[in-house]
Chains A and B, each alone.
Chain A
Amino acid sequence: MKKILITLLQDEVAPRFDLATDVLVARTDDAGRVLSKKTLVLPAPSGEQMCQLVLSEGADVVVCGGIENEFWQYLKWKGVSVVDSVMGPWERALELSAAGSLSEGMILYPGRETD
């Protein structure tokens, strides 16, 4: 079982980790099924607050767009796997992440899906 946190901008993975206010937190099982999901909203965009949220939620994986190296290093240091530079609908990102097949820099737009 793992916990996946995706930064959101409307229906897509947010282009910036530090500027996103909405996040999706999902629990998945080993078979890649989504067991539960919830949306959280930060009062204001902040990279530090987002890192705190990742840790307080106990996320194993963070899926985001661009992320500053300092936050990326910090989360890696805390044992969180960060899959960054992901572009496209968050639902597809969640599906692939749950299946363990999402990788850095993937483009997930329909008809444009590339790794």
Chain B
Amino acid sequence: MDSLQDTALAGLSPRAVIEGLPVGVALLGPGLTLAAMNPCLEALTGFSWQRAAGLPCGGVIRSSLCHRGCPAAKVLEQGVRCQGTGNLINRAREVVPVRITASPLLDSAGRITGILETVEDLSRVAAAVPAADGGLDGLVGVSPALRKVADLLPAVAQTDSSVLLTGETGTGKDLLALMIHRMSPRANAPFVKVNCGALPEGLLETELFGHVRGAFTGAVADKPGRFSLAEGGTVYLTEIGDLHPPLQVKLLTFLDDKEVFPVGGTRSVKSDVRVIAATHRDLEAMVAGGVFRADLLYRLNIVRIHVPLLRDREGDVRLLLRHFLDLYAQKFNRDIPGFSPEAEALLKTYPFPGNVRELKNIVEYSTSICPGGEIQLGHLPEYLALHRESPLPARREPPGLGAAPVPPPRSRAGESWSVIERDLIVESLVACRGNRSEAARRLGWGRATLWRKMKLHGL
């Protein structure tokens, strides 16, 4: 294969040709090495062009097709366009389903001088969440409260304004953000989620805005930030109320100028991304308390959507129970037709302080415990039985500063599902004297599920 310079692209920077394309694109030169890749492929793989330049494409794209049925290798053999579907593993160790198409670049004599490879992210093409009966385009439910939110989405998606999603934990803010992105003109570009509360200040700054080589010890190469990786798409900032004040200023600058300053850099980088932010906190109270910048709130608050509590979504519990039951029965390969009348009655009166996430976890637990047939009361988590004996009034999140204060639980009914699940695992492990296989059997899980959940709970 001759050099790419011999092609019709001569005189143009190959990267400039493919830069703005909304799917991952790579130009391969001799030895299937990377002659160019566009920002979309950088976002997909997690490798910056600076680092990937000249490397074999297999080491960077890391697709399941690289080991067998590499489309680019087939193009060299057959001389025609080849396509394959598989997955890739990015730098964040995530598996992303992709479709890879390789096409030959021919010179005037018909010789292959390079290969154009497109990498499409199939996870973005897939539907958000399959709707149940009466579902609203990915949102499960028919309640007026949910319909009000769903009616807003198409119009909000078509604008490029910043969006602020508010609502208690577990209400589905992440799903709404993803739906807005997928309904928007930016749907073919990356959707990048950043949890502002999950990382310490310094790390979050480099994660969001990137850094330049030498910015600090260990910064051995330029690293693009999430804003750069989401070029053309959407950055979803969850837990925005936890954003450190210095970063609030930087975010403010970005919202004003659409430019980011990488850590240690002297030049700004233009970034065309839409910002969607979410929080379960009362930002107005935080502004009044001086811990959140008022000007940042005003810039984020252009479109505000409050996601309703599950207990305010009349009639949706039944639909959600059916939706998640179908999902987990299929996943765990169980033949479960539904809930017994007693179990359903209990679930319909339970206030679900953890909202949809708690309901989902309850169904997952019950489906994994139930060997088959209807889910009975005994298959539900124990703390629900306590609720039946002494139902607690629905707990509402009081507005205030800092993390939503959770009153110390008096009974299991006040505890989150996560705490209950952790206790269940510990109890089972103690009962089985640390034997994980036995504990997994006792819980009705596989060993891998127990291991995953133990890791999740830090056990």
Query: Which A residues lie at the B interface, using CB under 8 A?
Result: 9, 12, 14-16, 19-20, 45, 65-70, 72-74, 77, 84-85, 87, 105, 107, 109, 112, 114-115
Partner of B58 from the list A15, A73, A84, A112 (CB cut-off 8 Å) is A15
**Bound Cα distance A16, B59 (Å):** 8
- Other than the given A14-B67, A19-B66, A68-B89, 17 more pairs (CB < 8 A) read A15-B58, A15-B59, A15-B67, A16-B66, A16-B67, A19-B64, A19-B67, A67-B93, A69-B94, A72-B93, A74-B451, A77-B451, A87-B56, A107-B55, A109-B55, A114-B51, A114-B221
Q: Considering the complex, give the chain B residue whose CB is closest to the CB of A69.
A: B93
Q: Considering the complex, give the chain A residue whose CB is closest to the CB of B93.
A: A69
**Bound Cα distance A19, B221 (Å):** 29
Contacts of B451 in A (CB 8 A): 74, 77
**For chains A and B in complex, what number of residue pairs have CB atoms within 8 angstroms?**
57
- For the complex of A and B, the 6 pairs showing the least CB-CB separation, nearest first, are A66-B89, A69-B93, A66-B62, A87-B59, A19-B67, A15-B62
Is the C-beta of B220 less than 8 angstroms from some C-beta in chain A? yes
Partner of A15 from the list B66, B92, B95, B455 (CB cut-off 8 Å) is B66
**Bound Cα distance A72, B67 (Å):** 20
Q: Considering the complex, give the chain A residue whose CB is closest to the CB of B68.
A: A19
Is the C-beta of B135 less than 8 angstroms from some C-beta in chain A? no
Contact status A68-B93, CB under 8 Å: yes
Contacts of B89 in A (CB 8 A): 16, 66-68
Which B407-459 residues have C-beta < 8 A from chain A?
451-452, 455
Known: A15-B62, A20-B67. A77 touches B455 (CB 8 A): yes
**Bound Cα distance A107, B94 (Å):** 20
User: Can you spell out 10 A-B residue pairs with CB atoms less than 8 angstroms apart?
Assistant: A14-B67, A15-B66, A16-B66, A19-B66, A69-B92, A69-B94, A77-B455, A87-B55, A114-B221, A115-B220
